[in-house]
Amino acid sequence: MCQQLNQIADRARNKPYSISAFKQGENENYEIAQYSAKSLELLGAKIAQFPKGTRFVVRNSTPESKAQKQLDDTVKDLLEQHGMIVVRGES
């Protein structure tokens, strides 16, 4: 339990904040810093809680499919719509 709490705290401290998206069939999951959202709508609500200009890095899945790339692009668009800055990062 302590190890899990330390991992969550590390994600909250690391900047730029990491964000990742996963969707397969009906299952979808979005991780943003130390938070998790189960839909794009909930992800947008969580993004809106960060100050405008906050920096995020979108973590790409490996291997990256066409559908995953489209989902990552949707997340990047959502970040930009909320006034966030998307920076490049590794997978």
Q: Which two tokens stand for residue 37?
A: 């959202």
Half-sphere exposure at residue 87, Cβ-oriented, CA atoms within 13 angstroms = 10
With 50 as the cut, is the pLDDT of residue 91 above it? no
- For the chain, what's the residue count? 91
What is the average per-residue pLDDT within 26-43? Answer: 93
74 Cβ contact list (under 8 Å, min separation 6): 21, 40
Whether the upstream peptide bond of residue 63 has omega within 30° of 0, thus cis, is yes
- pLDDT, tens digit (0-9, with 9 covering 90-100), for 39-89: 999 999 999 999 999 999 988 766 678 888 899 999 999 999 999 999 876
